[in-house]
Amino acid sequence: MERIVYTPYGQAHVFYVPVVSQADVKLFKTGMTIAAGDAKIRTRSQAFANLTAEYLAFTSGSVAPSIGDALTGKVGTCVSTDDAGTYTSGAIKVTVNSVLYTQAYDTDKDTTLTALAAQVQAGSGVLTCTYNAGAHTITTVMDADVSPTHTWDITSVVGTMAAIVPVNTGAEHGHVVGFFLTSGTWGAGTAAGGLFLEDVSGVLIAGDLTNTTTAATNVMTISGDCTVALMADAGQGFVAVPVTSVEMSTVDGCIALIDAAGAEWCNTSIEFQTIDSALAASLATSAELATLDGVVDAGFTAGAKDAGVTLADGAHGGTAAVLTLKRVVVVNTTNAQTAVDISASGTGNAHALNILATGGGKGVAIGAASVGLSVDSSAADAIAIQGGTASDGVQIAGEGVGLAIKAANVPTALAADGSIKASIEAVKGTALGAETVGGYDAAALHKLLNIVSPTLTCGVTAQAGAEAALAARSGADGFIKAGLWGAMGTALTETAGQIAAAITKFFNKGTPTGTINSLPDAVAGAASGVAIVGSLMTPSAATIAAAVWTLTDGIETGLTPKNAMRDALAILLGEVTGGASATPLFKSVDIVDGAVLSTKTRVTGVAVDASGNRGKPTLDHS
C-alpha cells in the first residue's frame, strides 16, 4: 500500500498509516507488537535508518500542544562535582533525600565512586546514578516528581579531595513532533494517548509536563522517560509514524513499515514530498534550483535550513554568482519581521535593489491596505527620480476621493482640501505688472467672480447658438440623434433601406439571448466558423475514433469504451493466474513482435461461490 503525502518543509510531522493483518488481509491489524526497526525513513541526505523521534505515553492531558512547542519535565536531576583532588583511603558518605549511603575505599578513587553511584541507583526513589571519572561528576536522576537533595560527608576521606558540590539542574525537555489520543478529551483534562518528541535533553521523569512555549503548566502527566526510534499503535488498526523537523528538511523521502518479526502485519510504505523545499538553503544545489526554471552560476552558500544565501561578487560579500528565477513569491506572517531585507554597503552603483522591467509591465507595482510605499532618509534625498528622454520622471494620479499628491512639508501651498493654491501670476502665465498687492487684479476678479448664483458666462451668445443646434438634434429623451454616417465616419453607399432593414432584422428583439461574441470570428464553412448546410465539416476518422474510445462514462459511469474493451479482452483472452484461489488474476494482452507479454494485471477477480454469486472485481486501467 503506497501513497504520496505533501507536508511543509522542515516541520515535524506524524503520519497515520493503516496496517493490514497478515492473518486476514481484509482487516486492519489491531494490538500489533511494535519493535525498534519496524519503521525506517529514507531522505535525500540518508539511506534507510530508524526513526529518531522519541515516544512516551501520557494521561490527564488538559492543554493540547502545538508542533514545535517545548515541553519541560520536573526538576529531578542532581549533578555533584568534586574538586578533582586525590582520594587514597577512608569512607565516603552521601545522603540522598534523607537516605544515607556509605562506601568504603576500594582500590582507587574511580572504583570507589563508581561503587557508591551503584549503591545510590539501587536505592529507593532513584532512577539512575552514574559516575563520570573524566568530569569528576556523579549524576543522580530521581524516578518520581521530587526535587533531589544531596548532602556529602568526606570527613573520613584521605587525600587532597576537599569538596563535592551538588547542583540541581534545570528540568529536562523536548520539542513536540506530534501526538494522538486514545481516550478522553483535552477540555475535560482526561486526554490520554501517545506523545512524540525531538531534541530531548537528559531523562524525563514521571510527573507533570509544562509547556514552556505557551507558559501552560501541568498540561499532561507522563509515567517515565521516552523510547527512541519507535512508531506507536494509534488504535483501530493505525500506527502513528513520527518524523522530526530535521528528517523533514528534505525535498522528498520514503518511510518503510516492515514487520521485523514478520508474523503480524503486512509491509507497507509512504512516500512524501515537502512544500517549498527547493528554496531551502540547506538543499541549495544548482540541480535543485534548476527546477524553478532558474540558473545558478556559482556561490550558493548552503547551511542549516534557516541559513542565508549569498549571491554577490567578491567586493560585496560573496562569490561571483547570478541567480535568475522565473518567479519568486515571498510570504511573511511573522509580526514585526521584514519579509525581504536587502542592503548594499558598496560605493558607486552598489544599489541595494535595481529593478528593470522590459516586457511592458511595471518595474515596481505596489499595493497595500494602508501605506503602499514608505520612504525614510536622514542623510540624503528620500527619493531621487530622473525622467528619460521625452518621458515623465513621475506620473501621479489620484483615484476616487484620494489626492494625487499629499505633502506634509508644504502646508502653505495647499488648500484645506489638499489641492494646490494657484496665484494670479500662475494663471496669467506671466509676471504681474505694477498693480498694488491685493489691488487692481484682485479687486477685478473679486468683483467679477464673487457671485453666489452667476447667470452670465463667457461667450454667452455662442453658447446660446450651440444649445439651439444641439436641441434640434436631440430626441424627446434628451439623447443626441446619431446616424450611421457619423458612426462609420464616411458617407453611406448602400442601396437605400438595406442597412436599416438589416439592423432591424438583427437587433429588433424583445429579449436578446446572444451577443456579438456568439458569432465565431471565422468565415462560414471554415474551421471554427458556422456550419453551412451541405458542407463537409467533419473531423478525421482517427479523431472520431479517439473521441469514442476515450469517451467519459461511455459504457458505464466511470468506464470508457477503451477501458471496458481492455477488461473484457483480459478476461476472454488474457493469461490467468490463481484460478483456483479466491482472487484469480486476468492479465493484459500486450502484443509485441507477435508475442503476448501479459505485463499488467487488468482484472483481479473474485471467486464464484457455491450459489453462483460473484463479488466485485478490482480493475487496473493504468
What the block records as the C-alpha cell of 41 is: 525513513
Look up residue 86 and give its amino acid: T
What the block records as the C-alpha cell of 77 is: 536531576
Mean pLDDT value across residues 66-82: 86
Residue 434 confidence (pLDDT) above 60:
no
Q: What is the pLDDT of residue 287?
A: 43
What's the CA gap between 416 and 424, in Å, rounded?
Answer: 19
| Contact status, residue 219 vs residue 63, Cβ threshold 8 Å | yes
| Contact status, residue 173 vs residue 70, Cβ threshold 8 Å | yes
Q: What is the pLDDT of residue 1?
A: 47
What the block records as the C-alpha cell of 272 is: 512524501
Grade residue 72 by pLDDT with cuts at 50, 70 and 90. Answer: confident
Q: For 14, what's the count of Cα atoms within 13 Å in the CB-facing half-sphere?
A: 26
What's the CA gap between 305 and 298, in Å, rounded?
Answer: 19
Give the 3-state secondary structure of residue 21: strand
Residue 326 confidence (pLDDT) above 60:
no
Count CB-CB contacts under 10 A for residue 103.
19
Grade residue 76 by pLDDT with cuts at 50, 70 and 90. Answer: confident
What's the CA gap between 280 and 248, in Å, rounded?
Answer: 12
Closest CA to 144 of 228, 224, 219, 203: 224
**Lowest mean per-residue pLDDT among 136-140, 207-211, 291-295:** 291-295
**Lowest mean per-residue pLDDT among 222-236, 366-380, 606-620:** 366-380
Choose between 134 and 308: higher pLDDT.
Answer: 134
What are 220-265's pLDDT values in tens digits?
A: 998 877 888 689 999 999 999 999 999 999 989 999 999 888 788 8
What are 260-300's pLDDT values in tens digits?
A: 887 888 999 999 998 864 444 444 444 444 443 333 333 33
Sign of CA dihedral 427, 433, 436, 437: positive
Grade residue 583 by pLDDT with cuts at 50, 70 and 90. Answer: confident
Choose between 514 and 174: higher pLDDT.
Answer: 174
Q: What is the pLDDT of residue 482?
A: 65
| Contact status, residue 178 vs residue 12, Cβ threshold 8 Å | yes
What are 525-564's pLDDT values in tens digits?
A: 777 777 777 665 667 788 888 888 989 888 889 899 999 9
Q: What is the pLDDT of residue 409?
A: 52
What's the CA gap between 125 and 141, in Å, rounded?
Answer: 9
Mean pLDDT value across residues 317-323: 50
pTM: 0.41
Q: Write phi, then psi, for 541 (nearest 5 degrees).
A: -60, -35
- Residue bearing cell 542623510: 379
Mean pLDDT value across residues 198-206: 80
What are 602-611's pLDDT values in tens digits?
A: 988 877 777 8
Radius of gyration of the chain (CA): 42
